């Protein structure tokens, strides 16, 4: 038996996909079902909520960054010994990059590939029967992507529900949910998206409020009936990122949180051991580890505490004399000389690389990336091609004199120049790695 699955899609970000997804995940879990959340494309934060709501690790499925074989292997793993997989779209359902068919990074790619139906979440605030025109556009835009049902979100009244819902059902799409406007259901946000699941003092209470909403406002039995079997073709993990060492010291706390679930799972599957430590608690990496990995996160929110963590600084300096250290995005910022926070205050960082960064002078960098490594490093051997993405507002204020780490291109192969730095055993870049190309 394989899991049944459905995609939660919408016309755009901010339509309420995440709240609906979490509500369904938590409500079905409370019914005693084994449910797993998945997320299309690059996103660290939503899988954390999926995991908290279900007790099962979330997964990212990315049709651009992952080879078909790795994508199938991860989808099959998600469906194994699971009743339902609820797959949340990133951005709008069809949003991706110009690429060969099926490799745009959109959730629509996954709908076509696996024959999965879409539950369309429509924010109908400010409209009524016009919502039917939007729904009809989705239903007819691509005949290989099937809209199975609609959830009306942010309704103002019962009359509003009737006008919107009747118009949509008149074009042949069932309305399986109607959610009244309720600001208390909104999840708080910051500059990189939602505030992370691990930062809530009352996380489970909020997840249960979303589940209560789903029980009250959605026909969950109808949603489950719309789902289709998730039965991917045979795949393997050959294109997953290789473990950078046998024992991996992993920075893990509120400042360092962005490591994809599939990356950690594939490292463990290959036999590696992950040994977490907390820089914010002034911990240093275990010296018995083979490599240290500073993942992305929010060091700009904790720069003062990181600057004062003397044991962390000393331990990282010792580790760097003999063993590899790699930093991604936020980790890369901490490896540099100075980090300027949002208020303009500067803080000394590790100084293991020569660059400096600023969060006060913000500029959004966002998009898929392909990196060709110039040298061996924890990401892979010299010449390896790694796919991933960038998403950050910080920018460099000083470049230092270290050697470049990789040559970078965007998702369409357009060269972007050198990226990241390396010095001795230390390397880092704003680029987040997802898989081998």
Which one from 266, 289, 329, 377 is the annotated catalytic residue? 329
SS3 letters for the chain? CCCEEEEEECCCCCCCHHHHHHHHHHHHHHCCCCEEEEEECCCCHHHHHHHHHHCCCCEEECCCCCCHHHHHHHHHHHHCCCCEEEEECCCCCCCCCCCCCCCCCCHHHHHHHHCCCEEEEEECCCCCCHHHHHHHHHHHHCCCCCEEEEEEEEECCHHHHHHHHHHHHHCCCCEEEEEECCHHHCCCEECCEECCHHHCCCHHHHHHHHHHHHHHHECHHHHHHHCEECCCCCCCCCCCCCCCCCEEEEECECCECECCHHHHHHHHHCCCEEEEECHHHCCCCCCCCCEEEECECCHHHCHHHHHCCHHHHHHHHHHHHHCCEEEECHHHHHHCCEEECCCCCEEECCCCCCCEEECCCCCCEEEEEEEEECCCECCECCCCEEEEEEEECCEEEECCCCEEEEEEEECCCCEEEEEEEEECCEEEECCEEEEEC
Q: Is 329 a catalytic residue?
A: yes
Active site residues: 329
């Amino acid at each position: 038996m394989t899991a049944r699955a459905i995609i939660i899609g919408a016309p755009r970000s901010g339509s309420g996909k995440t709240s609906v997804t979490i509500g369904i995940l938590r409500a079905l879990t409370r019914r005693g079902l084994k449910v797993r959340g998945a997320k299309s494309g690059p996103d660290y934060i939503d899988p954390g909520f999926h995991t908290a709501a279900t007790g099962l690790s979330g997964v990212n499925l990315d049709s651009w960054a992952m080879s078909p074989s790795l994508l199938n292997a991860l989808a099959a793993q998600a469906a194994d010994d699971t009743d339902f997989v609820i797959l949340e779209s990133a951005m709008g359902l069809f949003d991706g990059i110009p690429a060969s068919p099926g490799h745009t990074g959109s959730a629509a790619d996954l709908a076509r590939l696996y024959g999965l139906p879409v539950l369309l979440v429509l924010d109908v605030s400010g409209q009524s029967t016009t919502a039917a025109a939007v729904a009809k556009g989705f239903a007819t835009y691509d005949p290989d992507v099937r809209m199975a049902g609609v959830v009306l979100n942010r309704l103002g009244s019962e009359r509003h529900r009737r006008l919107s819902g009747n118009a949509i059902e008149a074009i042949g799409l069932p309305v399986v949910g109607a959610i009244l406007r309720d600001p208390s259901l909104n999840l708080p946000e910051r500059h990189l998206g939602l505030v992370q699941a691990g930062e809530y003092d009352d996380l489970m209470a909020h997840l249960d409020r979303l589940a209560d909403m789903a029980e009250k406002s959605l026909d969950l039995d109808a949603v489950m009936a719309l789902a289709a079997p998730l039965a991917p073709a045979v795949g393997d993990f050959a294109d997953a990122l290789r473990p950078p060492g046998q024992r991996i010291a992993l920075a893990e706390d509120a400042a360092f949180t962005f490591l994809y679930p599939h990356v950690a799972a594939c490292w463990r599957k290959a036999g590696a051991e992950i040994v977490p430590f907390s820089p914010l608690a002034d911990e240093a990496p275990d010296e018995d580890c083979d490599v240290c990995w500073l993942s992305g996160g929010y060091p700009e929110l904790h720069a003062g505490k990181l600057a004062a963590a003397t044991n962390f600084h000393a331990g990282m300096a010792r580790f760097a004399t003999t063993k590899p250290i790699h930093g991604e995005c936020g980790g890369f910022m901490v490896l540099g000389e100075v980090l300027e926070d949002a208020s303009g205050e500067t803080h000394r960082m590790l100084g293991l690389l020569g660059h400096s960064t600023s969060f006060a002078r913000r500029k959004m960098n966002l998009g898929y990336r392909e990196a060709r490594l110039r040298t061996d490093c924890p990401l892979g051997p010299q010449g390896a091609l790694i796919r991933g993405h960038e998403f950050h507002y910080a920018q460099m204020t000083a470049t230092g004199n270290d050697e470049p780490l990789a040559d970078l291109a965007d998702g369409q192969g357009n060269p972007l120049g050198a990226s990241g730095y390396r010095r001795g055993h230390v390397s880092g870049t704003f680029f987040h790695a997802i898989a081998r190309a």
